[in-house]
Amino acid sequence: MDKIEKLFRKITKKERATLNDLLILLRKNEVAHLDIKKIKESAYYRVRIMKFRIIFHYQDGKFKLDDIRFRNENTYKNL
């Protein structure tokens, strides 16, 4: 079981549905209204939603999910 799957088991159904909807939007590249920012000094981007941060990058123009994390002081370390 990977980290993202483990996270999805811990969170509520409402949070899980919200994250799923957001991931679908990212895969479809419908990102105009999302709060996407490039992470400094890296090739990664982040999206904020509730208490979560979705960390991803683009490879060959396609969305690649790297991690979903709770927001804390260590969220962007070790990228």
Domain boundaries, the chain: 3-70
Taking only the tens place, the pLDDT of each residue in 34-52 is 889 999 888 999 999 889 9
The domain 3-70: what is its CATH number? 3.30.2310.20
Question: pTM value?
Answer: 0.83
Q: What is the pLDDT of residue 19?
A: 93
56-62: list long-range contacts, CB under 8 Å, 24+ apart: 56/26
Q: How far is CA 68 from CA 3, 45, 58, 75, in A?
A: 8, 12, 16, 9
Q: What is the pLDDT of residue 74?
A: 77
Pairing of β 45-49 and β 62-70:
unpaired
Q: What is the pLDDT of residue 1?
A: 58
Q: What is the pLDDT of residue 35?
A: 87
Q: Where are the alpha helices (DSSP H) in the chain?
A: 3-10, 13-27
44-50: list long-range contacts, CB under 8 Å, 24+ apart: 44/79, 46/76, 47/22, 49/18, 49/19, 49/22, 50/15, 50/18
- The ranges of the chain with pLDDT < 70 are 1
